[in-house]
Amino acid sequence: HRLGLSGRAKAPSQAAPRPRPAKTIRTPTPSPRSHAPIMRGNLAFALAPRMMEAPPQPKAQLEEVVIPMSERVTIMELRESMCRWPLGDPASPDFRYCGADSPIGEGPYCKYHARVAYQPAQDRRRARPR
């Protein structure tokens, strides 16, 4: 049968249930792996390993894209190399898409709208009001 069911229900068995073996309790063993570097020998005068921080990257400020109404596109005019950022209410007849150039293979949005859509996790946590 495709559901793995037998044709009839089985009568309950009269046999006594089997005794189960007692479970053995195992203590967890510490993992031999460590993320710290292996150091051997006399470490009295050894320099402590330090994490080097990368210099802060200057953030390029992208200007907000202002697309004139004449350059905004409908869904029928959208092409593969155009930004698909929605502008306005989809229920209104004035609904359009950004239509700015978007690099093929880098996502559906232009550089400005991609930055708005894909924010790094740390920036989102920092921006959230508490």
pLDDT attached to residue 41? 72
Q: Judge whether 54 and 80 are in contact, CB under 8 Å.
A: no
Residue 115 has a pLDDT of 85
Q: Residue 59's pLDDT is what?
A: 62
**pLDDT in the model for residue 130:** 54
Mean pLDDT by 10 residues, the chain (130 residues): 70 70 74 66 70 70 67 86 88 89 84 83 59
The pLDDT value given to residue 21: 77
Give which of 100, 92, 97, 88 is closest to 64, Cα–Cα: 100
Distance CA 19, CA 9 (A): 25
Q: What is the C-alpha separation between 82 and 49, in angstroms, rounded?
A: 49
Q: How high is the pLDDT of residue 91?
A: 92
Give the phi and the psi of residue 101 in degrees, each rounded to 5.
-65, 130
15, 17, 26 from 20: Cα distances, Å: 15, 9, 18
Q: What is the pLDDT of residue 33?
A: 65
Phi, psi of 69 (to 5 degrees): -55, -30
C-alpha closest to that of 83 among 117, 108, 51: 108
pLDDT of residue 52: 73
Determine the Cα–Cα distance for residues 107 and 52; give it in Å rounded to an integer.
33
